[in-house]
């Protein structure tokens, strides 16, 4: 049995062990997968200890995605651009490969599960932290008409525009710069879904038929999704499909087998109320 795990702090309510055991069952792969509560000052020790005891790979959750990138000996291009990794693979005693599947998981959820093509759409990301960093390249690859980032601290959004300039043309600013604009897809990549705070979104921000997407999961209707509904948006989604899709990328990377995500998304999706 090859062993894998997810590291995080806190990690108690992680759905990753369930998701990977469903994938393993469906594909006939013999793996073990556990959740490891990792001390804030003990990330590297936990990773190296897991490898030393025979572990084959790790998923990495908050707040360790930066450290996961730093411990890698061979990070992928998208992990390098994000400056963060959410998945590690051990190759012998020396090589630690890292990748970041959050963005591709988001895009696959939006396009395949929710049936919302990004090509030609006006897309707005709220927030300028690691979640947005990981999402920019995969979204840009789908050729949206416009990709914008708004953040409470505008300088952090502008810094993203600078960092990604060679890869993605970005419009950036504070929430006040959104007045008079509208978007077909608005993705909340701030941490406000966890803290239940509302964002200062101007009227008219959601175009008719827009999709509102909150990257958090298991929080029901977040303040952001409630704001969207109050603005007349009927298509709202949380990040449970993104979680399953990034897990499928990890599973395929580790095992060489692509699991079918649809039944797992279906099993984990709960009505948003």
173 annotated ligand-binding residue:
no
Q: How far is the CB of 14 from ligand ATR (least distance, A)?
A: 16
Please indicate whether residue 65 is annotated as part of the active site: yes
Element (H, E) at 87: strand 87-91
CB of 56 to ligand ATR, least distance (A): 26
Does residue 63 have a cis peptide bond before it, meaning omega lies within 30 degrees of 0? Answer: yes
Count of positions (residues) in the chain: 273
Q: How far is the CB of 150 from ligand ATR (least distance, A)?
A: 9
Shortest CB 21 distance to ligand ATR, Å: 26
195 is in an annotated binding site: no
User: Measured from the CB atom, is 48 or 159 closer to ligand ATR?
Assistant: 159
229 annotated as belonging to a binding site for a ligand: no
156 carries a ligand binding annotation: yes
Nearer to ligand ATR by C-beta: 55 or 134?
Answer: 134
Rounded (10°) angle between helices 16-27 and 240-255: 50
CA 170/CA 167 separation, integer angstroms: 9
The whole-angstrom separation of Cα 90 and Cα 99 is 12
Q: How far apart, in whole angstroms, are the C-alpha atoms of residue 79 and residue 116?
A: 25
When the beta carbons of 10 and 117 are compared against ligand ATR, the nearer one is: 10
Residues that bind ligand ATR (CB under 6 A): 127-131, 151-153, 156, 189-192, 197, 199
Q: How far apart are CA 23 and CA 5, in angstroms?
A: 14
Residues paired with residue 213 on neighbouring β-strands, in sequence order: 187, 237
User: Which parts are annotated binding residues for NADP(+)?
Assistant: 77, 127-131, 151-156, 215, 239
User: Which parts are annotated binding residues?
Assistant: 14-16, 61, 77, 86, 102, 127-131, 151-156, 215, 217, 239, 246
Active centre residues (catalytic): 65
């Amino acid at each position: 049995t090859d062993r894998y795990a997810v590291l995080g702090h806190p990690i108690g309510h992680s759905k990753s062990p369930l998701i990977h055991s469903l994938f393993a069952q469906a594909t006939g792969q013999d793996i073990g997968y556990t959740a490891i509560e990792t001390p804030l000052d003990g990330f590297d020790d936990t990773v190296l200890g897991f490898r030393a005891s025979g572990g084959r790979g790790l998923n990495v959750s908050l707040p360790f995605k930066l450290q996961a990138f730093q411990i890698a000996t061979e990070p992928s291009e998208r992990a390098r651009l994000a400056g963060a990794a959410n998945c590690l693979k051990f190759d012998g005693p020396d090589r630690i490969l890292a990748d970041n599947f959050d963005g591709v998981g988001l895009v696959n959820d939006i396009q395949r599960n929710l049936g919302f093509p990004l090509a030609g759409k006006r897309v707005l990301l709220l927030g300028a932290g690691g979640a947005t960093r990981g999402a920019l390249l995969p979204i840009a690859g789908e050729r949206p008409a416009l990709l914008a980032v708004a953040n409470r601290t505008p300088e952090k959004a502008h810094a993203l525009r600078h960092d990604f300039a060679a890869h993605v043309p970005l419009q950036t600013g504070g929430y006040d710069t959104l007045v008079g604009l509208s978007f077909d897809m608005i993705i909340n990549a701030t941490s406000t879904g966890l803290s239940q705070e509302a964002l200062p979104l101007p009227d008219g921000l959601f175009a008719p038929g827009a999709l509102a997407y909150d990257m958090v999961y298991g929080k029901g209707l977040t303040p952001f999704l409630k704001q969207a509904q109050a603005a007349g948006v009927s298509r709202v989604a949380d990040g449970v499909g993104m979680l399953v899709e990034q897990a499928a990328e990890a599973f395929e990377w580790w095992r060489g087998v692509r699991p079918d995500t649809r039944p797992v998304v279906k099993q984990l999706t709960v009505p948003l109320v």
